[in-house]
Every structure is written in C-alpha cells, then in structure tokens.
C-alpha cells in the first residue's frame, strides 16, 4: 500500500492512457465506479445475462483499477480511460464461469486494440501442457507487442508448475499472486518459466467492489 500511495502522489492515471479489462461484465452503478471513464464493448459474452461469478469477477477487477478515490475503493489508475470487454459469462448453473476459447480471446483483443487500448488486462487463462497458443492468438499477441501494447495476464491458480495461455507467451507480462510477505501463494502457478517475463503482485484478501453495491475481499 505504501508503494501505491507514493505512486498516487505522482499520478492517478491519465485519460490519454486506455486500459482494457478482458473479464466478466460489470455493474457500472457501483459507488466505487461512479465518475469513472468507462466504455463497454459489445462482445459474444455481452449477450449472455450474468448475475453470478462473471459479473462478480468483472466488477471486482475493474474496481481495483478504476475505483474513484472519492468512493469506497481507491483504484490504481482511476483517471485512465477504461474499456470493458466481456469475455466471461456464467455457466447454465450460474455457479461458475463459462470458458472463453482462444479464438474468442483473439476477437476480444482485436476489439480492444481497435478501440485504442494501450494496456490489456486478462484475469484468466487456459491450461496447456506445451505452453503453445493457437497460431492466431500467438500472432495477435505478437502484433500487439510490436505496436507497443502491453498485455497483462494471470498465471493461473492450479498450484502447479504448469503453464497457462496467454501468460506463458514471452511477450505477455505474466502475473502471479503473492501474500503479504511477498511469497507466492500456494495456489499460484509461479513456475520458473514465468520468472523471465513476469512479476508477483498482491493476491491475498484484495478488497474490491461487489455487484450488489457492497464490498468484498477475494484471494
């Protein structure tokens, strides 16, 4: 938190910088997001109604970045422009996330780039034994890198020395989860392969927005 406070004395973000959130849909009326500069892109997942984990995850992650400092959640970069690009929806039982295919991810990344994204955050991934991506996904991510667009992706929560796409790709900033002592959480896929192009970030009891208007912590 001290590092964030030091950052905020320098900047709360710049509206010329566009951050795309590839996640679930969000509740834009949450008190922490009122006044934020967010624009939602219509995707295949946008057409799927969500009142479950997809909405919860998307709203929580969005508030961590864009939570306005006069509200209940102080976001990392509340003055940046945000693109909400839903890639997750609820399964039929409403208790878990429906999968996003690598080709659906290609479409979402392309939409984000077309709308001017400078940074693309993907809080998800697909397990792969080889670490190889679908050729179209590998191509769009390499093209993003060549254009100076930063893609950030989670390493996964399987607690194994295993690889997830897209975080396994070397041009992606891979992010593992650490505890308050700076050590990888036991479930975080923080393997040697990630350490050449990744970082650990706080992942334990993170406070964020809940779609019902309250706050909740998630690990």
Q: Is the pLDDT of residue 148 over 90?
A: yes
pLDDT for 45: 82
103-126: pLDDT as tens digits: 999 999 999 999 999 999 999 999
pLDDT for 102: 95
pLDDT for 98: 85
pTM: 0.94
When pLDDT is cut at 50, 70 and 90, the band that residue 2 belongs to is confident
pLDDT for 161: 86
Average pLDDT, the chain: 93
Mean pLDDT across 194-201? 95
7-51: pLDDT as tens digits: 999 999 999 999 999 999 999 999 999 999 999 998 878 766 668
Q: Is residue 105 within 8 Å of 144, Cβ to Cβ?
A: no
pLDDT for 188: 95
pLDDT for 204: 95
Q: Is the pLDDT of residue 201 over 80?
A: yes
pLDDT for 48: 66
């Amino acid at each position: 938190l001290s590092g964030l406070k030091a950052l905020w004395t320098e900047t709360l973000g710049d509206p010329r910088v566009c951050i795309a959130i590839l996640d679930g849909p969000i509740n834009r009326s949450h008190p922490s997001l009122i006044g934020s500069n967010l624009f939602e892109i219509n995707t295949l997942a946008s057409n799927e109604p969500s009142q479950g984990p997809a909405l919860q995850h998307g709203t929580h992650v969005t508030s961590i970045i864009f939570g306005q400092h006069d509200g209940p959640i102080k976001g990392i970069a509340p003055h940046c422009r945000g693109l909400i690009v839903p890639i997750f929806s609820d399964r039929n039982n409403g208790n878990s996330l429906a999968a996003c295919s690598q080709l659906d991810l290609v479409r979402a990344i392309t939409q984000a780039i077309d709308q001017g994204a400078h940074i693309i955050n993907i809080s998800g991934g697909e397990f792969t034994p080889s670490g190889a991506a679908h050729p179209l996904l590998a191509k769009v991510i390499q093209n993003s890198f060549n254009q100076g667009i930063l893609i950030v992706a989670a390493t996964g929560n399987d607690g194994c020395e295993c690889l997830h796409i897209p975080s396994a790709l070397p041009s992606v900033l891979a992010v593992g989860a650490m505890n308050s002592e700076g050590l990888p959480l036991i479930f975080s896929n923080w393997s040697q392969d990630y350490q050449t192009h990744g970082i650990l970030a706080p992942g334990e009891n993170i406070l964020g927005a809940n779609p019902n208007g309250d706050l909740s912590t998630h690990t």
